[in-house]
Amino acid sequence: MKTKLVIFDLDGVLVDTREIWFTVWKNAFKIIGKDLSFDEFNKDCWGTTFPQVCRQKGMTDEQYKKAEKVFLESAASGVEKMKVFDGVPEMMSRLKKDGIKSALLTNNRKFMIKRILDAFNLDFDCIPYLYEIQPEPRPKPDPFGIEFIIEKLDVKKGEAIFIGDTPVDEETGKRAGVKTLIIGKDIDKVTDILEQI
């Protein structure tokens, strides 16, 4: 079946943000007297949501509120240090030219998504803001985001590809029933998708 839609994760796929997010998470943990190593960040935090990790680490509600405040402030100031991966703007232009729709699926908050996309002039046909879903957020690995995109853009699951970089992304794609490619496992870099569609 011809590919009509490519769904992208953001961090680690389109934009190089790992070092920035490590600093953000480390700052948030430091405010409540907890340390976070880069190895712990990669294992426990990358690709996961901040509230989920805080619950797993046993934070109290008071600790979480303090940590979240620092997390959001640090995240907002980190955008200027992020950079888009080589070839991404050209890849996005090529998809548009070829009539292939694009969507973004990330566990980032809406304000961060907007800042990052504005900074790099990236545009998508659909972006479900998973943290703003009511009555409660529906972050990955919940398949809701992919299902929402497919319905909104009127494509079949067999016509969509999801590209991510974490086990959470892999699980999301599997639960949604769409072809999923993981960077570092199925493809080397996001722009390799152009050879597969």
CA distances from 52 to 10, 93, 97, 132, 173 (A): 19, 35, 39, 16, 20
Question: Full-prediction pTM beyond 0.85?
Answer: yes
Q: Please provide the average confidence, as pLDDT, over all residues in the chain.
A: 95
Q: Which domains, and CATH codes, for the chain? A: 5-16+82-195 (3.40.50.1000), 18-80 (1.10.150)
The predicted-structure confidence for 137-157, as pLDDT tens digits, reads as follows 999 999 999 999 999 999 999
Residues 6+ apart with CB under 8 A from 40: none
The average pLDDT across 177-181 equals: 98
Q: How far apart are CA 84 and CA 121, in angstroms?
A: 10
The predicted-structure confidence for 67-125, as pLDDT tens digits, reads as follows 999 999 999 888 989 999 999 999 999 999 999 999 999 999 999 999 999 999 999 99
